[in-house]
Amino acid sequence: MRTLTSLTPTPNAKSPVSLRAVVERITRDEVVHVARLARLDLADDEIDQFTQQLGAILEHAADVEALEVADVEPTSHPLPLRNVVRADEVSESLERDEVMACAPDVQDGQFRVPPVLGERT
Amino acid sequence: MSGLVPCATADTPVEPALPPGWELVVGLEVHVELDTATKLFCGCANQFGAQPNTNVCPTCLGLPGSLPVMNERAVELAMILGRALGCDVNRSVMARKNYFYPDMPKDFQTTQYDQPTNTDGRLELADGFVVGIERAHIEEDTGKSVHVGGGGRINEAVYSLVDYNRAGVPLIEIVSRPDIRTIEHARNYVEELRAIVAATEVSDARMEEGSIRVDANVSVRPHGSSELRTRCEIKNINSLRSLGRAIEHEALRHVDLWTTGSGPQQQTRHWDEAAGRTTPGRSKEDAEDYRYFQEPDLVPLEPTPAVIAAIDEALPTLPAARRAALREATGADADAARLLVERGQDSLAMAAAASGADAAKVVTRLVNDLAVDDWSAVDTESFAALIKMESNGELSASQAKVVLGDLVEQGGDPADHAARRGFEAMDSTELESLLDELIVVNPAEWSRLRGGDEVDRKKMQGFFTGQIMKATRGQADGRAVAQLLAQKSV
Amino acid sequence: MSALEIAAAVRSGERSALDVVEEHLTLIEARDPGLNAYNLVTAEGARAQAAAIDAAVSAGEPVGRFAGVPLATKDNMCTRGIPTTCSSRILEGWRPPYDATVVTRLREAGAVSVGKTNLDEFAMGSSTEHSAFGPTRNPHDPSRVPGGSSGGTAASVAAGFTPLGIGSDTGGSIRQPAAFCGVVGMKPTYGVVSRYGLVALASSLDQVGPFAANVADAAALFDVIAGHDPLDSTSIRDFEPTAQAVLEAGVDGLRVGVVKELAGGSGGVPGLAADVLARTAEAVEALAAAGAVVDEVSVPSSTLGLSAYYLVMPAEASSNLARYDGIRYGLRVDGATTAEMTTATRTAGFGTEVKRRIMLGTYALSAGYCDAFYGKALKVRTMMLEDFARVYERFDVLVTPTTPTTAFELGARTQDPLTMYVNDVCTIPSNLTGHPAISVPFGVGDDGMPVGVQVLAPASHDAQTFRVAAVLEAAA
């Protein structure tokens, strides 16, 4: 087991991306690009606000950069669960009427949407 | 037509007319729908052709609060295919591929990213060429949209209708290395993969129902170079014929762009079958930033060595080995061997030949006359008996074909079917007396057969054969009639 | 009357479930307009269920452990046919076609849900001010926030609207409002309570948990909702809920650690209020007086929680919230193409705090930064787990304040997200480690507002937190 010294912030030369360097140069353009990825249309003042706040929050988060974590396994679950599976047995599906009841626009038992541009991936 | 027919058809050039000095570089990504009873993460039926949005539940609709649970059988099938392709089966984790698309209910696809189930395999083609397999990973399918208006073209539609029955259907995506250099090999690769998928019963492998889908990564480079130049990914390829056409078109486009400028841009392109060309897909800005991360709602898959050993133990003999065995046993040519193995008729052929039926006839009869989906009623013994009846002249070729049809329909003893249909073999004395009667009635025709020129002789041979067939209601063996005419007319 | 007393009275026929429910509905009708704890009161459904319970009692049929006990359900738990909004405009009109597992379990236990309670939109917040349906107010002082995000449920229990409540906790969303409202709130070990039907904020951090006015009721509620669910892949098999069984066990000989970094000393987390620290110290003294072996302990990684949390939480949230695209349910704002429709819908349907976190998470996961941000944060979780594992070799439980301060005034912290986020500093480590933690009221601050003390335990030792909380409750 690692000792606690590994938790003491030390400069980490091995890190390929310097988080602090990244967050210090968060730009409006990046915020606009991220908003597009997230399908959000931000007003000008929101873009300014988020540019500033994202920088501030991520700079705080960049504390983790100082940690020497190269040989640490990531944890996405606190318990070591594995191979959780179910048998390949059919269970009941939903009634279509109940499924469609809350849909904004329906036609012929399908969800109707405005034109889709581009291709499926 | 499924497109998965022998590839060298007359209307498709075997190789693209790449200008001298250029080499084609192709890698294929093949999506195969796994033949499970249920979807990948929920108990909804994995079923083609149901009424829209009837095989859906909170999980495969991505409703708020729903969670996925992995289908055990899907994992097993993925590992089976992995082992059949000679892959390492690894500890794997599912990941989220984040992008917005209306066919995708969660607006992310649950797939595998940096830790796929299968890696580093190989696929040997019928001619011995080996294509490397980079990975074969598990992922979920998307729903389906119908684009209404604008002739069904996605970019001209007035609106679209979305059906999520297919959303969450388990897929395995097999990613080849860019080892393929010819269109023929690209097609052979898909054919061979399909054969392995069928042999391992991982999928029903119907390209026409979309249970096998192929994307092609195409680039070109100067001959002799080992560089990998900018590639384009071609989607919407629906048949082997389209695969060849799409690769050819794309390769020529690349050569043109390299020759006249700085080459193509890396992008996803869409094959337009009607127009015979590829068109640009989604913009680069949207693509390429999928923000992959581990799916926190699922836990890692860690097959034990015992599980993998059991899969290896249970693997069927793979198509390449079956083809070799069939050719060895029957002398079938490469095409026939491929076809019979694909249909699963190789064991029938070998058993019939082993029981003494004429091997060449066995192969011919199967290739030509047993191209049906369900031939389960045909057992080895009765099939072998049928071939023997044909070989020893008890049945003509056309009669044998009819009786084989009866076996497919009803099973049973071929002799019984022949008797019921009145397919009694006509012995040569019966035929001869019939011919004698015809000669008496048609003396002029007979002398033209004996003394006429080549054209006349042929014509009169046809005349007498026709008369005999008419009199016997087609029961006479054509070869026996020809033989008899030849003897008599000398 | 406590929940357990009500259930006993209903089971014995001494009280009718319908009377109990009616009494609580009347109280809600009279007082909730001033508090706004409820997004929706499901009076008719509650009455029907209560009547059915009374009929079952009359017929001598078995009724559940919580027969006739009114329950507040946080409005991010799916309820079949009943609007589930997450306090967001984007889920306008959505009636889930299914029940959350915890909802089903509680109905089967006879608990009667009287409505859906307010929260910070999609559980993103610590004050219940970020709700599309207006803020909830603290029953102890309506000028103050009830905490969040489970502020509606906390207020419902604190106001006596319901003896029981259900919340969810991603970074403190049960414990912090419990502390602010002077009630008991507990976050179970990750995987002990099913998340099926809980609308996700951050999948690897979210956990459903109990609220109650006292420790015994909270323990009984925990025992009902805990247990394996095959619909949740992260659910722990073979978990035996035993919270009720250990309530009388006392703390004699129990090894209690006081986390140095959260005790106000130098080198620790700054900004912890003196009154809160004083109550925490008194709580520790009470445990010592009851026979616990108390010592101070350093948990260095506890200070890293906030950084890792504000990478993991928004990253997962940005992905979980992608599905609100205007196609299958909820709000749709028209657009010329599906992409434009989705953008217009999300822009109109999400509040500012939700947008901020989606932006943060999308940025942290976007090209090139995923390993640096999210990947590193997951490694920090591993380090925290190892750090806590080391500490738990020497201690059975740890004690900290639940919150840096008592409940603050409405509007005091909404301007600066970072200040608001720091509010979660004491509660976040348990979400990152997945460990159980409880907040139990212990006295009041200088402002007369309730103070909560937090008890942490190792994974699967959920019962231990109730055991210690029972002693603190008695000493408070």
For A24-83, the DSSP string reads HT--HHHHHHHHHHTT----HHHHHHHHHHHHHHHHHHGGGGGS--TTPPP-SSSS----
* Nearest residue on chain B to C337, alpha-carbon basis: B159
| Per-residue pLDDT tens over the stretch A7-61 | 333 333 334 455 566 666 788 998 999 999 999 999 999 999 999 888 887 777 7
Which residue is associated with the tokens 């793979």? B318
Which positions in chain C touch B96 (Cβ < 8 Å)? 319
Predicted local distance difference test score (pLDDT) of residue A24: 63
* Residues 41-100, chain B, touching A (beta carbon < 8 A): 42-45, 51-58, 61, 69-75, 99-100
* Nearest residue on chain C to A19, alpha-carbon basis: C372
- In chain C, CATH 3.90.1300.10 covers 3-244, 255-303+382-475
User: How many whole angstroms separate alpha carbon B59 and alpha carbon B169?
Assistant: 12
Predicted local distance difference test score (pLDDT) of residue C87: 98
Which positions in chain B touch C200 (Cβ < 8 Å)? 64-65, 297
Least confident of B265-279, B291-305, C1-15, C362-376: C362-376
Q: How many Å lie between the alpha carbon of B106 and the closest alpha carbon of chain C?
A: 5
Q: How crowded is residue B12: how many other Cβ atoms within 10 Å of its Cβ?
A: 17
- B69 in contact with C at a CB cutoff of 8 Å? yes
* Residues 148-207, chain B, touching A (beta carbon < 8 A): 154-164
**Is C382–A72 a contact, with Cβ atoms under 8 angstroms apart?**
yes
Which residue is associated with the tokens 């103050």? C144
What letter would DSSP give residue C236? Answer: P
Which positions in chain B touch A81 (Cβ < 8 Å)? 299
The total number of structural domains that make up chain A:
1
Q: Show Cβ contacts of residue C46 under 8 Å, excluding neighbours closer than 6 positions.
A: C21, C25, C70, C112, C113, C114, C115
Predicted local distance difference test score (pLDDT) of residue B481: 82
- A101 in contact with C at a CB cutoff of 8 Å? yes
**Is A94–B45 a contact, with Cβ atoms under 8 angstroms apart?**
no
Q: How many Å lie between the alpha carbon of A20 and the closest alpha carbon of chain C?
A: 11
Residues B293, B95: contact at Cβ < 8 Å?
yes
Q: Show Cβ contacts of residue B18 under 8 Å, excluding neighbours closer than 6 positions.
A: B24, B220, B251, B252, B255
C-alpha separations of B462 from B440, B488, C241, C267 in Å: 17, 15, 93, 110
Size of interface A-B (CB pairs under 8 A): 149
Predicted local distance difference test score (pLDDT) of residue B4: 38
How is domain C255-303+382-475 classified at the CATH fold level? Amidase signature (AS) enzymes (3.90.1300)
How is domain B428-489 classified at the CATH fold level? Arc Repressor Mutant, subunit A (1.10.10)
Comparing CB atoms, the residue among C230, C378, C386 nearest residue A86 is: C230
Domain range for A29 is 1-72
SS3 category, C40:
strand
C468: its two tokens? 């210690």
Predicted local distance difference test score (pLDDT) of residue B282: 62
Which positions in chain B touch C78 (Cβ < 8 Å)? 58, 63-65
C367: its two tokens? 């090209």
Residues B169, A121: contact at Cβ < 8 Å?
no
- A63 in contact with C at a CB cutoff of 8 Å? yes
* Nearest residue on chain A to B39, alpha-carbon basis: A88
Cα A78 → chain centroid: 19
**Is C94–A102 a contact, with Cβ atoms under 8 angstroms apart?**
yes
| Per-residue pLDDT tens over the stretch C212-236 | 999 999 999 999 999 999 999 999 9
Catalytically active residues of C are: 74, 149, 173
* Nearest residue on chain B to C361, alpha-carbon basis: B291
| Per-residue pLDDT tens over the stretch C290-313 | 999 999 999 988 878 888 898 999
Q: Show Cβ contacts of residue C242 under 8 Å, excluding neighbours closer than 6 positions.
A: C223, C463
C-alpha separations of C216 from A12, C130, C177, C185 in Å: 49, 32, 19, 12
**Is C234–B62 a contact, with Cβ atoms under 8 angstroms apart?**
no
HSE, side-chain direction, 13 A CA sphere, residue C154: 40
User: How many whole angstroms separate alpha carbon C186 and alpha carbon C178?
Assistant: 9
What ipTM was reported for this prediction? 0.96
Predicted local distance difference test score (pLDDT) of residue B15: 57
- The type of residue at C64 is G
Which positions in chain B touch A93 (Cβ < 8 Å)? 44-45, 54-57
* Residues 325-364, chain C, touching B (beta carbon < 8 A): 325, 327-329, 338-339, 342, 362
User: How many whole angstroms separate alpha carbon C467 and alpha carbon C77?
Assistant: 28
Residues C373, C365: contact at Cβ < 8 Å?
yes
Query: What is the mean predicted confidence (pLDDT) over C409-420?
Result: 78
Which positions in chain B touch A111 (Cβ < 8 Å)? 53, 102, 161-164
Domain parsing of chain B, residue ranges: 22-313, 317-395, 428-489
User: How many whole angstroms separate alpha carbon A82 and alpha carbon B299?
Assistant: 5
Which positions in chain B touch C86 (Cβ < 8 Å)? 64
Predicted local distance difference test score (pLDDT) of residue A120: 42
Kindly report the length of chain A.
Answer: 121
CA dihedral C300, C304, C305, C310 (to 10 degrees): 180
**Is C311–A61 a contact, with Cβ atoms under 8 angstroms apart?**
yes
Q: What CATH code is carried by the domain that includes residue A34?
A: 1.10.20.60
Q: How many Å lie between the alpha carbon of B302 and the closest alpha carbon of chain A?
A: 6
Which positions in chain C touch A31 (Cβ < 8 Å)? 359, 363
In a domain, A27, yes or no: yes
C neighbours by CB contacts (3+ pairs under 8 Å): A, B
Q: What is the pLDDT along chain B (490 residues), one digit of tens a residue?
A: 333 334 334 344 445 578 889 999 999 999 999 999 999 999 999 998 899 999 999 999 999 999 999 999 999 999 999 999 999 999 999 999 999 999 999 999 999 999 999 999 999 997 889 999 999 999 999 999 998 887 666 667 889 999 999 999 999 999 999 999 999 999 999 999 998 998 899 998 777 777 899 999 999 999 999 999 999 999 988 888 999 999 999 999 999 999 999 999 988 899 988 888 998 876 545 556 899 999 999 999 999 999 999 999 999 999 888 989 999 999 999 889 988 988 889 999 999 999 888 999 999 999 998 888 888 888 889 999 999 988 887 887 778 888 999 999 998 899 899 888 877 656 667 788 888 888 888 888 888 888 878 888 888 888 988 888 888 777 777 777 888 888 887 7
Domain at C3-244: CATH code? 3.90.1300.10
DSSP run (H or E) holding B98:
strand B95-98
| C365, C366, C379, C432, best to mutate vs chain B, most B CBs in 10 Å | C365
End-to-end CA distance of chain C: 19
In a domain, A115, yes or no: no
Query: What is the mean predicted confidence (pLDDT) over C373-378?
Result: 85
* Nearest residue on chain C to A102, alpha-carbon basis: C329
**Is B301–A83 a contact, with Cβ atoms under 8 angstroms apart?**
yes
* Residues 287-326, chain C, touching B (beta carbon < 8 A): 315-316, 318-319, 322-323, 325
Predicted local distance difference test score (pLDDT) of residue B154: 67
User: How many whole angstroms separate alpha carbon B275 and alpha carbon B255?
Assistant: 20
Kindly report the length of chain C.
Answer: 476
Query: What is the mean predicted confidence (pLDDT) over C173-185?
Result: 98
Percent of chain A exceeding pLDDT 70 equals 74
In a domain, A47, yes or no: yes
pTM: 0.86
Least confident of B217-226, C358-367, C410-419: C410-419
**Is C329–A102 a contact, with Cβ atoms under 8 angstroms apart?**
yes
A76: its two tokens? 């996405």
| B38, B54, B67, best to mutate vs chain C, most C CBs in 10 Å | B67
User: How many whole angstroms separate alpha carbon B88 and alpha carbon C213?
Assistant: 56
